[in-house]
């Protein structure tokens, strides 16, 4: 029988375009870093990212996506994901913020996010940022043809639990290409025995983007219909890369200049 995701395999030409989109999304995160300082509004960050993306012949995918009103997501402290940039949300010393950038270039998407620190942060927050990034890399370093998506989700969840954190279940990694979120390819960041077991194959492109909470895993969505927060208001952190499953293993399409892929395994 044909692989259930065979129709999502990218051609070499598509992969070239995904590399360009991934590189641009990564460059946006590098570009914005020096502006993430106390006193800046999340809207100012949105405007800079928006302008940079347009200047590089691309489109910010979140803008008007299912009604999302801005060009990036900015999720501060206990905001888990999908925070909406606002001119009255001013960053202050000690904040942690996830900036999630998705660009469309030549018809293909690149999707990546990382945590930034605003001035000096607590040792608690420091530890959350470190462990949540490791959660993402434990998933990434498992990627190769034949690996089950369940194995990846389980490894991420177990690593979070080992450190007494929790992995959010309501949002997952996703297939990505000409579509922002491809139907049929979901990368859960936890172990769910009831879903069909899918094995990766060479040529699939998808994200891994765990959201890790210091407290319990439960979330709620605010009245703006977008902003997702932890129910217990504990700090949350997320990291995301767009990946290609290669013959040998994995290529990180959104790796930033100077970012070193850690080698550790779960
Ligand atoms: N970038 C997010 C993801 O990783 C999706 C954001 S949807 C938006 O899948 F509408 F909020 F932009
Ligand atoms: Co994503
Ligand atoms: Co994203």
Mutate which of 64, 102, 209 for ligand 1 pocket (most atoms within 8 A of beta carbon): 102
Distances (CA, A) of 68 to 88, 153, 226: 18, 28, 8
| Contact 82 CB / ligand 1 (< 6 Å) | yes
CA of 102 to the centre of ligand 2 (A): 8
Six token digits for residue 120: 């000096």
Mutate which of 21, 65, 69, 72 for ligand 1 pocket (most atoms within 8 A of beta carbon): 65
Residue owning the nearest CA to atom 12 of ligand 1: 62
Under the banding of pLDDT at 50, 70 and 90, the label for residue 194 is: confident
Q: Is-above-0.95 flag for pTM? A: yes
pLDDT (average), residues 182-207: 93
pLDDT in tens, 150-172: 999 999 999 999 999 999 999 99
Domains in the chain, please, with CATH?
A: 7-252 (3.90.230.10)
Ligand 1 atom at minimum distance from 100 CA: 1
pLDDT in tens, 217-234: 999 999 999 999 999 999
Ligand 1 atom at minimum distance from 61 CA: 12
Q: Can you state the angle between helices 42-55 and 12-32, rounded to 10 degrees? A: 140
**Whole-angstrom Cα distance, residue 180 to residue 228?**
19
Q: Which ligand is nearest to the CA of 206?
A: 2
Distances (CA, A) of 250 to 27, 44, 129: 20, 35, 23
8 A C-beta contact, residue 266 and residue 159: yes
């Amino acid at each position: 029988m044909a692989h259930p995701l065979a129709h999502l395999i990218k051609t070499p030409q598509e992969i070239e375009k995904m590399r360009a989109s991934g590189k641009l999304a990564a460059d946006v995160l590098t570009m914005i870093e020096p502006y993430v300082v106390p006193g800046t509004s999340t809207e100012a960050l949105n405007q800079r990212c928006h302008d940079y993306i347009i200047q590089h012949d691309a489109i910010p995918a979140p803008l008007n996506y299912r009604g999302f009103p801005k060009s990036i997501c900015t999720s501060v402290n206990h905001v888990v994901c999908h925070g909406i940039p606002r001119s009255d949300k001013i960053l202050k010393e000690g904040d942690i913020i996830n900036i999630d950038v998705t660009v469309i270039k030549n018809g293909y998407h690149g999707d990546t996010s990382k945590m930034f620190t605003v001035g000096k942060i607590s040792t608690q927050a420091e530890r959350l940022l470190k462990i949540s990034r490791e959660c993402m890399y434990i998933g990434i370093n498992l990627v190769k043809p034949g690996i089950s998506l369940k194995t990846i989700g389980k490894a991420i969840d177990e690593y979070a639990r080992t450190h007494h954190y929790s992995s959010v279940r309501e949002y997952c990694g996703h297939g990505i290409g000409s579509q922002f979120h491809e139907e049929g390819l979901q990368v859960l960041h936890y172990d769910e025995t009831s879903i069909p077991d899918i094995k990766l194959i060479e040529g699939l492109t998808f994200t891994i983007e765990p959201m890790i909470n210091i407290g319990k895993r439960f979330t709620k969505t605010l009245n703006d219909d977008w902003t997702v927060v932890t129910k217990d208001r504990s700090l949350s952190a997320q990291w995301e890369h767009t990946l290609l499953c290669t013959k040998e293993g994995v290529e990180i399409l959104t790796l930033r200049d100077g970012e070193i892929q850690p080698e550790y395994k779960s």
